[in-house]
Structure 1
Amino acid sequence: MQGAGRVGPDHARKAAALRIFGQPVATHRLSQMAVNAGPGHRLFLAVPRGAPPVAGWPILYLLDGNAAFDFLTPDLLALAPGLMLAGVGYDTDRQFAREQRTLDFTAPEGPGDGIRPDPVHPGRMAGGAALFLDRLTGPLRQAAEAAAPVDPARRTLWGHSFGGLFTLYALLTRPGAFARYAAISPSIWWDEGLIRRVADSAGRMAAPPPLLAALGDREKRSGSDGPPPDGPAPATMRFLADLRDRPGLSPQVHVLPGLVHIETIAGSLPLVLPFAAA
């Protein structure tokens, strides 16, 4: 998410400490595993303690799982003791795999698989969202849900930044892939025209799934100059408002006061955990 020619923000290079795996957690059992799919993934799992419901646990899938579980705490997990969490990360020791997530979380354009050079970040590729959605709902889901019984009618997808953009793409192109969606600080700026074309193509949904959206009021593009803005990103707010007129969605929109971009990961979880557990 940095501007052309910039090294990138500090958090983009930060190692994932994953301290929660060394802490006592009263409500969940934690584990992690490698999954040999696509470029190679890591799954970070938090399974509720005790007997599952007859239909299985509700489950929250968290993109950028290395980072998401880095911000997770026992107190946050205690907000949803009956919710299973699956962090979908990459085979890296960093919080973010910048090049791979740019490819996986951006919408395809053009013929074939739609993969093309990233128009914003020189040297990266973009447009692999359809392929990643297949992987997410295929081998990654199968690996995560082999760990515990899951209720297939209560799956929620959460994504932040480019992951939030992908969450909107998944909702608009395959709304039945998950029961609920949570798009946090989605990177509408990356190619606003493209995500609007995706929304236009979606049409009106007969039974639109619930959508929760959240963003800070002090966010700016990572690596850009100047002070943080005073208010949420106008392009994101316009896009979320327009969704009500296009596919018939009624997004819950939360503005998180005082939060910059990276802080909305942790800032969104007190909203999203009960949302996914409902």
Structure 2
Amino acid sequence: MQGFVNRGNCRIMSQLGQVGPDHARKQAELRIFQTGAPTHALSQKVVAVGPGYRLFLAVPRAPAPAGGWPVLYMLDGNAAFDFLAPEHLALAPGLMIVGIGYDTDRQFARELRTLDFTAPEGPGDGLRPDHVHEGRTAGGAAIFHDRLTGPLRAAAEAGLPVDPARRTLWGHSFGGLFTLYALLARPQGFARHAAISPSIWWDEALIRRVAQEAPPASLPLLVALGDREKRSGSDGPPPDGPAPATMQFVADLARHPGHRAQLHVLPGLIHIQTLAGSFPLVLPFACAN
């Protein structure tokens, strides 16, 4: 552990959790539910909506402030809580964390996340075949966003003092792509957005069009990616810099009214490593007023 960043009661370790395992079909061990955490009460619940979702909750043990706790929603909750350690939670004692996962024992439900995290081709359009992964269905982001901000959020926050003005959405890879969609197409859903290694390559033209059609906004956006990433299916040597499509998207977004991204390039990290590598950035980001 090296260095700390202080954000009030969200004191964050600057080098914690930067390495993750291969993730194709890895089982989620969820050790944090075995070890427990002194600063947070941990629990899980299944919500029978759509394909069935599993919620992973880390609720601060300390009393909530008058306005309620800030809350960080993490997509791919099975994987996010597989990487989350008690040390992370100890350094953000005033932050509630909700993992939105699927009712599976794996880190990732690949077919379901493709469906949920990819945007329709246009407003009112339905589902469509995934043009990259044969046999998968895509285009369900609008449907999933309604579930996320409706029954899933209601189940996660039931009976808990949450500050509705301090909800942050975090997503990695396809989850990062969905996070950008949520910011641009449904900005009323969350106050802050953190897109980690977003899979812009999946349909670069579509996400650019969504950005161009988005209304002016001033919501905080954090974007992080590694400088050794390759998209799924690519070959050749590892790159020696961050993904050009993502860097260009961030540059283009800066010219859109009101949108400004806080950009972080994580040195030496490949795609899966940026998931946990983003935690030291995202936790203080979610704690901000």
* 2:144 is the counterpart of 1:95: no
> Contact 2:62–2:93 (CA<8 Å) still a contact in 1?
no
Q: Which amino acid aligns with 1:235?
A: A
- Alpha-carbon deviations, 1:40-98, whole Å to 9, x = none? 00000000012111111100000000000000001111221100000000011100000
- Alpha-carbon deviations, 1:84-135, whole Å to 9, x = none? 0000000111000000100100010147443100011110010000000000
Q: Which residue of 1 aligns with 2:52?
A: 40
> Contact 1:218–1:232 (CA<8 Å) still a contact in 2?
yes
Structure 1 216/147 Cα, relative in aligned 2: closer, same or farther at 3 Å? farther
Take 2:168 and 2:91, find their aligned partners in 1: how far apart are those partners?
16
Q: Which amino acid aligns with 2:258?
A: G
Aligned length: 268
Take 2:263 and 2:276, find their aligned partners in 1: how far apart are those partners?
16
Take 2:146 and 2:125, find their aligned partners in 1: how far apart are those partners?
12
Q: Which residue of 1 aligns with 2:229?
A: 219
Q: Which amino acid aligns with 2:281?
A: L
5 Å-filtered alignment, 1:72-111, equals 72-110=84-122
Q: Which residue of 2 aligns with 1:4?
A: none
SS in 2 for 1:104: helix
Take 1:267 and 1:179, find their aligned partners in 2: how far apart are those partners?
22
Take 1:243 and 1:112, find their aligned partners in 2: how far apart are those partners?
24
Structure 1 147/64 Cα, relative in aligned 2: closer, same or farther at 3 Å? farther
- In the TM superposition, what is the alpha-carbon distance from 1:194 to its structure 2 partner? 0.3
Take 2:54 and 2:22, find their aligned partners in 1: how far apart are those partners?
22
Take 1:86 and 1:166, find their aligned partners in 2: how far apart are those partners?
17
Q: Which residue of 1 aligns with 2:68?
A: 56
5 Å-filtered alignment, 1:1-278, equals 10-110=22-122, 112-205=124-217, 208-278=218-288
- What stretches of structure 1 of length at least 5 have no aligned partner? 1-8
SS in 1 for 2:65: coil
Take 2:245 and 2:221, find their aligned partners in 1: how far apart are those partners?
18
Take 1:136 and 1:247, find their aligned partners in 2: how far apart are those partners?
27
Question: More displaced, 160-169 or 226-235?
Answer: 226-235
Take 1:213 and 1:110, find their aligned partners in 2: how far apart are those partners?
24
Moved over 3 A (4+): 110-113
Structure 1 24/112 Cα, relative in aligned 2: closer, same or farther at 3 Å? closer
Task: State the TM-score, normalizing by the size of structure 2.
Answer: 0.90
- What stretches of structure 2 of length at least 5 have no aligned partner? 1-20
> Contact 1:199–1:247 (CA<8 Å) still a contact in 2?
no
Compute the RMSD of aligned alpha carbons.
1.3
Task: State the TM-score, normalizing by the size of structure 1.
Answer: 0.94
SS in 1 for 2:194: strand
**Percent same amino acid at aligned positions?**
76
> Contact 1:32–1:45 (CA<8 Å) still a contact in 2?
yes
Take 2:274 and 2:245, find their aligned partners in 1: how far apart are those partners?
17
Q: Which amino acid aligns with 1:210?
A: P
Q: Which amino acid aligns with 2:168?
A: T
SS in 2 for 1:177: coil
Q: Which amino acid aligns with 1:71?
A: F
Structure 1 276/25 Cα, relative in aligned 2: closer, same or farther at 3 Å? same
Take 2:91 and 2:34, find their aligned partners in 1: how far apart are those partners?
19
> Contact 1:113–1:128 (CA<8 Å) still a contact in 2?
no
> Contact 1:79–1:270 (CA<8 Å) still a contact in 2?
no
Q: Which residue of 2 aligns with 1:3?
A: none
> Contact 1:103–1:126 (CA<8 Å) still a contact in 2?
yes
> Contact 2:182–2:189 (CA<8 Å) still a contact in 1?
yes
Structure 1 231/147 Cα, relative in aligned 2: closer, same or farther at 3 Å? farther
- In the TM superposition, what is the alpha-carbon distance from 1:204 to its structure 2 partner? 2.2
- In the TM superposition, what is the alpha-carbon distance from 1:227 to its structure 2 partner? 2.1
